[in-house]
Amino acid sequence: MTDIVLASGSRSRREILERAGIPFRVMRPDVDEDALKLQLTEKSPADLAIALAEAKGLSLDLPGAIVIGADQVMEFEGQPFDKPGSMDELRSRLLDMAGKPHHLRGGVILVRNGSVIERIRETSTLWMRNVSRSEVDSYLETVGEDVLSTVGGYMLEGLGVRLFDRVDGDFFSILGLPLFPVLRVLRREGAIPW
C-alpha cells in the first residue's frame, strides 16, 4: 500500500481524510508560510493558495509516498485575507463581511517522488447573512478562540453555518480539502483500492 502523507497541521483536513477512511499520516511541512506570502504578494488569492500548497507538498522528500499539500486563501472585495490574529480582528472582519459574499480559494497539490502529479484548484463563494454586532458577539463568545485557526474565522461545519444565507461550492473544499478530486487521484495512483 502506498504511504499517504498530509503535509498540513490543519485539524479540519485531517478529519476529512479520517472520516473518508483514508490511511495516512501527518507531517508538518518545512515551510515558512509568512515569509513565502511576503514573496508572493503579487499573486492573485487563487494563485497564492496553489503556490502555498505546492511549497508544502514539495517540502517533504518521501520517496514513493504521495504527499498532499493544501492551502486556502479567503478573498473579500478583491483582497486576500489570512487567518485572523485576534478575536477583535475577527469581529471586525465578520461585521465587514455581513450581507456580502466572499470567496475561499483553495489549492491542493499531490506530489510523488518530488514531482507534482496533480494540481487542484477550488473556489467556493459564501454569502454571509446581514448579521448584527450582537449576533457576532454571541457567536464568538460561544465558539471561542478555536475559530482563529480558520482562514474565514468561522467553522461552517459547526455553529458558523448560522452566519450564512447561501453557499456555492463543495462542502469539503470549504473545510479546506476538496475530497472528491483527491480521492480520484489516490485511486488513479493505486494508493487506495476503491
Residue 115 within any structural domain of the chain: yes
Catalytic residue chosen out of the listed positions 71, 88, 146, 165: 71
- Name, in order, each residue with C-beta under 8 angstroms of 9's C-beta and a sequence gap of 6 or more: 26, 28
* The pTM of the whole model exceeds 0.85: yes
Residue 109 within any structural domain of the chain: yes
pLDDT class of 1 with cuts at 50, 70, 90: confident
- Name, in order, each residue with C-beta under 8 angstroms of 103's C-beta and a sequence gap of 6 or more: 45, 74, 75, 76, 123, 124, 125, 126
pLDDT in tens, 16-64: 999 999 999 999 998 998 899 889 889 999 999 999 999 999 999 999 9
How many domains is the chain built from? 1
Examine the residue annotation and report whether 71 is marked as an active-site residue of this protein. Answer: yes
Q: What is the CATH number of the domain that holds 64?
A: 3.90.950.10
pLDDT in tens, 135-187: 999 999 999 999 999 999 998 999 999 999 999 999 999 999 999 999 999 99
> Residue 133: which of 69, 88, 70, 189 has the closest Cα?
88
What mean pLDDT is predicted for residues 114-132? 97
